[in-house]
């Protein structure tokens, strides 16, 4: 009986390690979040010559990826913290004091940065400034409670030397360039110009891009595009059903960090990883 108990306990202890071991450990991950477009809007043949389509061919395209709710803000909170934090609309300001992706990384001796286009200054807590909207910048809601202001940065601070990037970065284009106010072509060109060089670098430096949308346009059951690109990713499409909690769970599992909130019940992204 003692031997059986010991064996069972050992299996329980080792199970999370074995699961995490199935995933890569990227040196850097950049997560870019776009706005309010459904899967068919993005992947229709009219857009086949776009950078986004080229990126999908270069990486893994998830054909069953979904936002968790409407409108925008609770989706960003879900991706960052594993919870919508009770937020049901695009309201501002909010202040939270619980665990999140950034605090978990920092506690493990890793790093995080949020890079928001048109943010007036590092640590700025304005609800809006021109095309910048705090509702799309979840890190600001934990600033001063769990997180230092230095994590809340402008995209102007995004390093050109990508080796200086934090372990995980959120990149938040402003509303002119995230397809919220601007059109597909403007958003696509922004990604090609600003994120394309990182993808080229990542392919040679054990790093990863995650491109996703917060929600659809209320027309497709919240069916959105999510694309992963990096040297550890097998190219092609995946029909694994994922959502923002799945993406968060994957980010946490990359670095053997505890699951947060609803990500505890989500499955990490699987079956796209190249074994090395």
Is 11 within a domain?
no
User: Residue 274: inside a domain, yes or no?
Assistant: no
User: How much helix, strand and coil, in percent to the nearest 5, is found in the chain?
Assistant: 40, 20, 45
Mean of the pLDDT values across residues 100-125?
Answer: 98
> For residue 6, is it within any domain?
no
* pLDDT for residue 22: 87
CATH (domain of 96): 3.40.720.10
Residue 1 in domain? no
Tell whether 272 is covered by a domain. no
Cα separation, 118 vs 137, in Å, equals 11
Q: Phi first, then psi: give them for residue 225, nearest 5 degrees.
A: -95, 135
Q: Report which of residues 82 and 276 the model is more confident about.
A: 82
pLDDT digits (tens, 9 = 90+) for 207-241: 999 999 999 999 999 999 999 999 999 999 999 99
Is the pTM value of this prediction over 0.85? Answer: yes
pLDDT in tens, 25-66: 999 999 999 999 999 999 998 899 999 999 999 999 999 999
pLDDT above 70 as % of the chain: 92
167-to-66, 117, 266 alpha-carbon distances in Å: 25, 19, 22
Q: Tell whether 79 is covered by a domain.
A: yes
| 5 belongs to a structural domain | no
Q: According to the model, what pLDDT value does residue 272 have?
A: 98
Provide the domain limits for residue 179. 25-265
Confirm whether 176 is domain-assigned: yes
Mean pLDDT, the chain, rounded, equals: 93
- Structural domain count, the chain: 1
pLDDT at 3 over 70: no
pLDDT of residue 1: 41
Q: pLDDT (tens digit, 9 = 90+) per residue, 143-162? A: 999 999 999 999 999 999 99
Start-end of H helices in 65-148: 72-81, 101-107
């Amino acid at each position: 009986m003692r031997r059986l108990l010991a064996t069972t306990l050992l299996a329980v202890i080792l199970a999370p390690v074995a699961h995490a071991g199935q995933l890569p450990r990227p040196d850097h991950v950049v997560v870019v979040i776009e706005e309010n477009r459904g899967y068919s809007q993005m992947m229709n043949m009219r857009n086949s010559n776009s950078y986004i389509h080229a990126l999908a061919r270069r990486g893994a395209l998830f054909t069953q990826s979904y936002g968790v709710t409407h409108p925008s803000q609770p989706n960003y909170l879900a991706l960052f913290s594993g919870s919508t934090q009770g937020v049901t609309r695009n309201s501002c300001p909010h202040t939270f004091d619980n665990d999140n992706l950034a605090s978990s990384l920092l506690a493990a001796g890793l790093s995080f940065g949020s890079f928001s286009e048109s943010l007036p200054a590092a640590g700025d807590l304005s609800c809006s400034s021109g095309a910048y909207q705090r509702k799309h910048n979840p890190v600001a809601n934990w600033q001063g409670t769990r997180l230092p202001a230095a994590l809340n940065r402008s995209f102007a601070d995004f390093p050109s030397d990508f080796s200086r990037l934090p372990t995980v970065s959120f990149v938040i284009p402003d509303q002119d360039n995230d397809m919220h106010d601007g059109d597909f072509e403007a958003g696509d060109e922004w990604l090609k110009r600003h994120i394309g060089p990182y993808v080229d670098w990542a392919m040679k430096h054990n790093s990863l891009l995650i491109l996703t949308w917060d929600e659809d346009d209320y027309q497709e059951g919240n069916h959105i595009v999510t694309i992963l690109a990096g040297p550890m990713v097998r190219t092609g499409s995946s029909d694994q059903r994922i959502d923002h909690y799945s993406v968060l769970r994957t980010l946490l599992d990359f670095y053997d960090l505890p699951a947060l909130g609803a990500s505890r019940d989500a499955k990490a992204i699987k079956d796209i990883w190249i074994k090395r």
